[in-house]
Structure 1
Amino acid sequence: MNPYTTLFLTFFRIGGFTFGGGYAMLPLIQAEIVDKHHWLTEEEFLDIFAAAQSLPGIFAVNISIFVGYRLKCYAGAAVCALGTILPSFLIILAIAMFFTRIQDNQYVAAIFRGLRPAVIAMIAAPVITTWRSMKMKPISLWIPILSAILVWLMGVSPIWIVLGAAVAGILYSRFIEYRIRRMRS
């Protein structure tokens, strides 16, 4: 099969069968890219994951662009991005066309209610996988748990969480640098 077709179909499948956004897509992306196709090692995937998080835009699209570029340069990046975006675009277009007919449908509402727990599990899975692969201490799990509580239960904007984490990271690194300098003195 043509490598561009393989890239497109892989990311089309990822984009079409994952609900809940980028983090919910992460286990499926990792399974396809690392485990099934062996396009990246787990370490390379973690590097791309970190870079994709730091860039603006849609998380899953950022990953698809990185993978496509690494494998087939600009054309690969474009094919992977299109494969990731197209399913959502088509689904949203179909919903928009028929929304007035289905908005009060009890079956549609039940489907979306049923998807919520699956999306939560799909978001939790990459947090745990990343935590394990980075060999972090169990105490460090309080950061994503506290962030989730602040956002979901207390209504804190994720922007404040990110800014607070950045400030805490800077302060922590300064503290570590200070301790290292004191130990050398």
Structure 2
Amino acid sequence: MRRSQKNWRLFKVFFTAGVFTFSGGMAMLPVIRKELVEDQSLISEFDLLEYSTISQGLPGVIALSTACFVGKKINGWQGVWWAGLAVILPAYSLMTIATIFYQFIPKEGAFLLAFQGIRGTACVFVFDAGWSLVKHNLVSELRRLTALGSLIATGLFGVNPVLIIVGLLVIGWFLKGKEVRLK
């Protein structure tokens, strides 16, 4: 496949995902996986999930970070540019239009029902993407315990997630190169 074809494919996939999946980057993951992994075989599922996982921990928009990583893997810096533009364009356009016409959008009836349906669908997309990341990342007992501990610390004790991330980075730095076994 030529570079221009890869650029078009990246643009089409990320633009379509941006238009039809509400609630951000995690909701886009199943759509992107279907197109780029299953249908086109342009990237492995492992790489897609790795890039999505890394994007979760970076500051900024998850969808844009994922698009840039995937674009770079598939078609270098041109891929970064085209995938990034494609994922930004729908949100920018829709928000501009919504801002201009907000006062004219009915707050009841069919529009209200449509937005409720979109919320429900978004939950399913986010759950599907989250489940894919769980299966991909929690492959060892150490990772499962770390995730469970983080969930308990944030959910039950209200620990700031930034503190958990920084703490785990420090622990990881000191354990770098050492094999950790749980008994």
State TM-score, norm by structure 1.
Answer: 0.75
Aligned counterpart in structure 2 of residue 102 of structure 1, from 98, 102, 105: 105
User: What's the CA shift for 1:119?
Assistant: 1.4
Is the alpha carbon distance of 1:170 and 1:66 closer, same or farther for their aligned partners in structure 2, counting shifts above 3 Å?
closer
**Aligned CA-pair RMSD:** 3.2
Looking at secondary structure, tell me which structure has more helix per residue.
1
Aligned ranges for residues 84-163 of structure 1 at < 5 Å? 84-134=87-137, 135-136=139-140, 142=148, 161-163=160-162
Percent identity of equivalent pairs: 23
SS at structure 1 position matched to 2:107: coil
Aligned ranges for residues 1-185 of structure 1 at < 5 Å? 2-134=5-137, 135-136=139-140, 142=148, 161-166=160-165, 169=168
User: What's the CA shift for 1:37?
Assistant: 1.6
Please give the alpha-carbon distance, in whole angstroms, between the structure 2 residues aligned to 1:100 and 1:147: 42
Q: Which runs of 5+ in 2 are unaligned?
A: none
Please give the alpha-carbon distance, in whole angstroms, between the structure 2 residues aligned to 1:173 and 1:69: 27
User: What's the CA shift for 1:29?
Assistant: 1.9
Is the alpha carbon distance of 1:38 and 1:105 closer, same or farther for their aligned partners in structure 2, counting shifts above 3 Å?
same
User: What's the CA shift for 1:28?
Assistant: 1.5
Please give the alpha-carbon distance, in whole angstroms, between the structure 2 residues aligned to 1:71 and 1:176: 33
Q: Deviations over 1:79-121 (max 9, x none)?
A: 1111111111221122122111114243222211122222122
SS at structure 1 position matched to 2:42: coil
Q: Which runs of 4+ in 1 moved over 6 A?
A: 138-141, 174-177
Please give the alpha-carbon distance, in whole angstroms, between the structure 1 residues aligned to 2:166 and 2:30: 29
Q: Aligned letter for 1:117?
A: G
Q: Which runs of 5+ in 1 are unaligned?
A: 151-155
- Count residues in correspondence: 172
Q: Deviations over 1:96-155 (max 9, x none)?
A: 2211111424322221112222212211112212222333567777568658967xxxxx
User: What's the CA shift for 1:60?
Assistant: 0.9
State TM-score, norm by structure 2.
Answer: 0.76
